[in-house]
């Protein structure tokens, strides 16, 4: 089994992005699955081109995109991506869409194929806070989650894909009082557990439990 794991580069006023920092530190193999790591730009559309090229090259069984969600307390596997770009800030190319439909021929929303409840449970069992999230926002994180689901719908029906948000690093909240953060090693441990759950639940579907939600 091969899993493509992507992480965004820094954006906005931050000089570091925990997403790519954590992805780079993942093991090369988790529960027997090969882990392919990829840095992607925090840019609408361009990020999708980079991921599509990687899917074509690597032919992964799964794609897991990782992004920063400043203000969240734990790792949050995402349930759904919506067909909308609405940027609170410009991306790294200076583009800031408002109420923009990502694909006119795409579904209004796509649900993940990943076992998000099993992932959240595994992350917490590894000693890291986690809950299922029902919103990936409307910035580049939701954009890439939606784009990969669109690719699955139109081009790569054999893959399963999803997204997980991670918090700020401690150094990112020095000037952000009362904002949650998490040590990088804890993020890596949590992501490793989440990917392990993906491998372990392959072909079995998700677990039927309450794993908490973030609206």
pTM of whole model > 0.95?
Answer: yes
Q: Which of 21, 141, 143, 211 is catalytic?
A: 141
Mean local confidence (pLDDT), 74-97: 98
- Sequence-distant (6+) residues with CB within 8 A of 200 are 31, 118
Confidence of residue 65 (pLDDT cuts 50, 70, 90): very high
Ordered by start, the domain boundaries in the chain are 2-214
Is residue 103 part of the annotated active site? The answer reads no
Q: What is the pLDDT averaged over residues 2-29?
A: 98
Strands laid side by side in the 2-8 sheet: 29-30, 33-40, 2-8, 62-68, 160-166, 76-77
pLDDT band at 212 (very low <50, low <70, confident <90, very high): confident
> How far is the C-alpha of 96 from the C-alpha of 59, rounded, in Å?
32
Average pLDDT of the residues in 36-58: 98
Write out pLDDT tens, residues 156-205. Answer: 999 999 999 999 999 999 999 999 999 999 999 999 999 999 999 999 99
Name the active-site residue from 21, 143, 165, 211: 165
Is residue 165 part of the annotated active site? The answer reads yes
Average pLDDT, the chain: 97
| Torsions phi, psi for 114 (to 5 deg) | -85, 155
Environment class of residue 106 by beta-carbon count within 10 Å: exposed (0-12), middle (13-18) or buried (19+)?
middle
Look up tokens 């954006």; give the residue: 11
Q: pLDDT band for 85, please (50, 70, 90 cuts).
A: very high
pLDDT at 12 over 90: yes
Checking phi first, is residue 166 left (phi over 0); if not, alpha (psi -120 to 50) or beta?
beta
State the pLDDT confidence band at 215, using cuts at 50, 70 and 90. Answer: low
User: Of the residues 21, 31, 56, 78, which is catalytic?
Assistant: 78
| CA max distance for the chain | 45
Per-residue pLDDT tens for 124-148?
A: 999 999 999 999 999 999 999 999 9
**Structure-token match 């439909």, residue found:** 101
- What pLDDT was estimated at residue 213? 75
pLDDT class for 92, splitting at 50, 70, 90? very high
2-214 fold: Aminopeptidase (3.40.630)
The answer to whether the beta carbons of residues 31 and 50 sit under 8 Å apart is no
DSSP strand pairing (62-68 vs 213-214): unpaired
């Amino acid at each position: 089994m091969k899993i493509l794991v992507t992480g965004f580069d820094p954006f906005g006023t931050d000089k570091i992005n925990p997403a790519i920092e954590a992805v780079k530190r993942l093991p090369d193999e988790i529960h027997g699955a090969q882990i392919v790591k990829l840095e992607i730009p925090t840019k609408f559309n361009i990020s999708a081109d980079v991921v599509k090229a990687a899917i074509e090259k690597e032919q992964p069984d799964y794609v897991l995109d990782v992004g920063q969600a400043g203000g969240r307390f734990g790792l949050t596997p995402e349930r759904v991506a919506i067909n909308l770009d609405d940027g609170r800030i410009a991306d790294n190319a200076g583009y800031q869409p408002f109420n923009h439909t990502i694909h006119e021929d795409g579904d209004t929303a796509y649900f993940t194929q990943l076992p998000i409840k099993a992932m959240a449970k595994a992350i917490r069992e590894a000693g890291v806070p986690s809950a299922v999230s029902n919103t990936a926002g409307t910035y580049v994180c939701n954009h890439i989650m939606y784009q990969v689901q669109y690719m699955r719908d139109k081009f790569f029906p054999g893959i399963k894909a999803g997204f997980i948000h991670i918090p700020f690093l401690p150094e990112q909240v020095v000037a952000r009082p009362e904002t949650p953060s998490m040590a990088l090693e804890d993020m890596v441990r949590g992501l490793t557990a989440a990917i392990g759950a993906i491998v372990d639940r392959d072909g079995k579907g998700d677990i039927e439990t309450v794993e908490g939600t973030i609206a």
